[in-house]
Structure 1
Amino acid sequence: MTDRSHGIAPAELGDDELRREMTHLHETRNDTVLGGSEDALEAHTRRMLELEEEFLRRLPGEAAPDPQRTRAGKREGSG
């Protein structure tokens, strides 16, 4: 039996579900940091890292930085 007490394993989520889960976790992060118990913060952090790792593995193009936000891109753009 699979433990799903902290949600579906990230690898089992579809791309849209993965995006939605990550968005929700980022929306609730501040409340967890400021008002959650140590256990809640630990569980939140673990889930966030699992989702982010899966996102970066599966959708690297969506996580690539905008070239204008990198030093090389800024130098290139300024001539």
Structure 2
Amino acid sequence: MGGVDPRRLDDQELAKELETIHRTRHDTLLHGSNDALRTHNERMAALEGEYLRRHPRRPVIGGRTRAGARSRGEAPS
């Protein structure tokens, strides 16, 4: 896997790396080689895992939960 070990990044660097990898995800999926996609997956998992390790109690928006998604999908009565 390329890039700096996510554990060595400070919070600002980690946030920037996450923004970049999420921004490039779609193009990598559509147009990258299998190796590029595999590398992207590994790097994204490492960065996201480090973020979650640092922020286990991050705020969760109700609409981003399964229950919240189900309530958005219900037809009005």
TM-score bin, normalised by smaller chain: 0.7 to 0.9
Match of 1:40 in 2: 36
Q: What's the CA shift string for 1:4-49, capped at 9, x where partnerless?
A: x611000000001001000100000000000000000000000000
Matched, 1:67 2:34: no
Paired residue secondary structure (1:53): helix
Higher RCO, 1 vs 2 (CA within 8 Å, ≥6 residues apart): 2
- Residue from 15, 27, 36 that aligns with 1:19: 15
TM-score after normalising by structure 2: 0.77
TM-score after normalising by structure 1: 0.75
How many residues matched? 68
Task: Identify unmatched segments of 5+ residues in structure 1.
Answer: 75-79
